[in-house]
Chains A and B, each alone.
Chain A
Amino acid sequence: MEFIFYFGDVFTPVSFALLLVGTIGGLILGATPGLSPTMAVALLIPFTFQLEAAQGLILLGAAYTSTVAGGAVSAILLKIPGAPANIATTLDGHTMAQKGQGAKALQLSFLSSAVGGIFGVLLLIFLTPVLAQWALAFGPSHLFWLAILGVTVIGSLDSRSVVKGLLSGCIGLWLATIGFDDIMGAQRFIFHPSLGGGINIIAALIGLFAIPQVITMFARGRRNDAAEVIKVEKHPIGGAIRELFRNNRAMGIGTVTGSIIGLIPGVGGQIAGLVAYDQSKKFSPQRDKFGTGHPEGLVAAESANNAMVGPSLVPLLTLSIPGSPTAAVLLGGLLIHGIFPGTDLFDNHPDVAWTFINSMLIGQILMCIFGLYVAGLAARIAMVPQSVMAAVVLGLAVFGSYSVQSSMGDVYVMASLGVMMYFLERFGFSAAPLVLGLILGPIAESNFIQGSMIANATDGMAPYFLGGGLNIFLIAVVIASILYSGYLELRSRRYTSKEEIMA
């Protein structure tokens, strides 16, 4: 309960002004494609040199929470996920925007972000010591099985056909092998110098999602059919809140999945949204509607990716190990003021620690209020004529992929992957499983190699990868997930064949 005493510190004029600046700035940065939360926080670090420790962290904490939520804006309106966390948001969010329900989609995404985010921060406040042990429990063998669990999701994610889903997953897994291998030092598939560092995930995201759209829009030309003009429906905020509570199952699944996965160092943020989306799809009676602009999917994805924010900081704050790239940047923000995370932080600088955590709590609420306020306005983007929109999205795509590492190489990667994806989409493949393969490939590979090196030096491969409670539990979940997907596939096949007979 100690944190309550430090709420006052958040509301001093300077701190609150910084909180507002961080939140609003973070939303704008987050909505800009290519500026991931890590980037946004890193850009703000030099400004904190001049501030006091607590104030600097308020700025960084507010920016972190709101960039994660802001990423949903470009995912919904432009179908460009600003960060891997927002991939699942595009699946239902963008389809809603295309149906003219952009305002509703944005309102729902900000509301579910706030619910998930507040739950995550509360976990950070009350359960940090317990959670720290949980975060350490995941070694290479467990992370390997977790990645395999992710792979089992690939087939069923956003794709009519399981085979095509798996095939695009395989393309993603192959793309992930490109570049210098950090563990063995080998060079793989580097046929152009810009691939030396491997395929940057943000550049790939932008290319795979935005470019096929741009080409489709250009291909339609200047034709302005009446059917093309999207009517943007107004949507009352009260209605969005009621809608959110109607989807309490998705919200619960999203929040819990996001919080648990967010804890695991090195994996969390990237797959939290996708796993939550897949889980709520499997548990939903209306699973056929997922991917067609169904609010349930949007709620699950967005509550998960904000719920992960709080727990993702647990390893950093308690053990001084940054569990995600963004946490590593925040570590820099602490060190510059001579504060070491860990016991030093909570014992000797409780004002800094709790003010920082409180600011994330209040930041979530401010983010939600501000987001709801602009949602109606932002949704009108859908009314921009497609020919203009195509040019704008293309510009943002180039800017976004260049700014990740200030490298033209990433722009080439973005463009070539995008053109490839355009043709793949025409054959019924989709981008989400491909990206999931790209994310999971390195996690599975490096943890398998590391695990096998440790296993060979100690008690052998089989006991290391198959023994232990957590391993067995994860393997059981993997098997359950495969069986369940198989069952669903068979059942839906029977349905289709019945319909076909009727037709």
Chain B
Amino acid sequence: MLHYLIKRLLWMIPMLIGISLISFFIMHLAPGDITASESAFNPKASEESRQKLRALYNLDKPLITQYNLWLKRIIKLDFGNSFASHQRPVLWEIKDTKGNISKGMIQEALPITLMINLIGLLIIFSTSIFLGVISAVNQNRWPDRLITIIVFIGFAIPGFWLALLLMYWTGVTHSWLPISGLHSAGYEKMGHLAQYTDLFKHLILPVFISSLGGLASISLYVRNGMLDVLQQEFITTARAKGLSENKVIYGHALRNTLLPLITIIGLSIPGLIGGSVIGESIFAISGMGKLFFDAVLMRDFPVIMGILTIGSVLTLFGNLIADIGYAWADPRIRRGISN
């Protein structure tokens, strides 16, 4: 097992270099650089100053040199500073000589996105496992049909449209929920409990919208997996033993159905750090999606590469964790690896 782990970890290194190389070159395929967006069309800004900026950021050097420079920094875990005029660090905060702290861009955006996605994932899995089981048990009867229709409507409905309607209905017509942002005006003056409630209220709509689309696929996975398992002989055995139907379904069938879900959970780990651009823009939440999108529009290369690198590391680890999780849960696979 340990041998397997080490092999997998070592394999990650060439994979990461490959991924970063491809990302780097694809990113540079898009025409333009930071100077095209910053004051590109202001007659008061001169071309010389743009050239100066290009030289400063090494954008005038050959691509392969730029990539080497980037690689040299990233090995030391230095993600660099943004090209934007605020020059904030991409990953983590730095302190200047006077003790002022500049927060890292990913450092600020990641927790917000992570929070929304984790809650979303929790809701998606708990809800869709339940929906899937109900569907499977009532196969082709009305609860099954109804659930399928509902989850597919949720999947098909454009999120931004539903978001705006819900914002209007809950925020403007009834003022039950805040419309956008994460904190109300006067948040600073609230007590701790009030702050949590405030944050909770702001999160209801974004989390709801972000989890709606995920329900369909997972609940169908569970439904179909459950149907397969229910036809197997050990279920017949369990029933023949005289176990209650609840015990058969939740104690025996569901546990076996959940195995493939481990892979899906592993694969959704990298998705946890990617936010939805549209969702974040509409709800005015400054998470990872908006950060990445803005960076692409501005051709802010250090930020783009920073996010891509972290994303690919997480993807690789996600795969690894899924495999390990699988081995842990399923003795057949565990034995396969050990051999």
Decide whether A and B assemble into one complex. no
Question: B residues near A, CB below 8 A?
Answer: none
